[in-house]
Amino acid sequence: MKSLLVLVLVSLSLCDMDLEKYKKIAYQVNKLRTTWKAKEVPTDMEGLLGALKGSPKTLPRKTKFRTNVNDLPESFDLREAYPNCETIKEIRDQSKCGSCWAFSSAEVMSDRLCIHSNQTIQTRVSPLELITCCYDCGFGCQGGWQEMTFYYWMEHGIPSGGLYGDKNSCKPYFLPPCEDHMHNCTDYQDTPPCEDKCQDGYEKTPEEDATFGADGYSVSGEDDIMREIYENGSVTATFEVYDDFADYESGIYQHVTGGMLGLHAIKIIGWGVENDVKYWLVANSWGDKWGEKGYFRVLKGKDECGIEDDAPTGMPLIQGKFLE
């Protein structure tokens, strides 16, 4: 099974791709004057697309909400709603490791710890813990399932872990950020071994440092995803990546041309409307020099690239209390 999944996850390096092809794609997108702008120098997708379908366990589907969808604002941005939550505004960088599934989940967990503690808890949940120690979550840098990360959060807890080089967390990320994802980036990396200790100099053990989830669930569809974000915070989602997304520079992405390269896990933090076009506001994990300072927008309400199919998320356990 593992070898089959690895084969499914293999994405071509742009070193092996025809760069003229991506120049033609960019030309075609920009000539159409669609809702987004393409650049001629594409993102190198090698090792970036690590989301898997077919999770060993699914999360229960949430269908009841406090908010009527007609009462939701036309635009909503968690960065503005919770200005003191540092993690909501932070763009991480997975570098050359297919760990998007771990990053999107860890970021959602971090955001919700802050949101549901009245913006007091600023813990950065460790994606490295999920990549290296959550064996049921998938295959580390070769891909994984967001659903399983929330089970791990509830059952085992996850220690803190900031960006590469962070000395104030238990398990910071193991790879330096890329200057960009076409140049000056480390080669594709294998998954490091799991270590049952924090980095040298950090005074706690992983068990002492861990935060826990109280609940894990998923939402689906435009209306329920909006209500969930509005009521409780960010959600993860899986996004089908096509050739033309490698050329994304700015604007509201919608698939125009090219074949499918793989699946990518991202974090949705809000929505809006521009020139009568609805969009989701998405935080990526490819560094703040990519896209719109690390973010991108994607067409909303049309299940573009499957982004509205399923949005796994969960609630944190804070001071031993289960939150409603």
Task: Please pick, among 97, 100, 133, 170, the residue that the annotation labels catalytic.
Answer: 100
Beta bridge partners, 271, equal 76, 280
118 carries an active-site annotation = no
| Pair type for strands 295-299 and 311-318 | unpaired
Q: Beta-carbon neighbour count of residue 7 at 10 Å? A: 8
CA nearest to 287, candidates 191, 131, 176? 176
Rounded to whole angstroms, how far apart are CA atoms 106 and 286? 15
136, with CB counted inside 10 A (0-12, 13-18, 19+), is middle
Task: Please pick, among 85, 198, 232, 284, the residue that the annotation labels catalytic.
Answer: 284
284 carries an active-site annotation = yes
85 carries an active-site annotation = no
Rounded to whole angstroms, how far apart are CA atoms 128 and 175? 10
Copy the structure tokens of residue 319: 């001071």
| Pair type for strands 260-274 and 295-299 | unpaired
Q: Are the beta carbons of 114 and 86 closer than 8 angstroms? A: yes
Rounded to whole angstroms, how far apart are CA atoms 156 and 126? 13
Helix axis angle, 100-115 to 146-155, nearest 10°: 50
CA-based radius of gyration for the chain? 19
Task: Please pick, among 133, 185, 264, 305, the residue that the annotation labels catalytic.
Answer: 264
DSSP 72: S
Rounded to whole angstroms, how far apart are CA atoms 112 and 317? 10
DSSP 192: P
Catalytic annotation, residues: 100, 264, 284
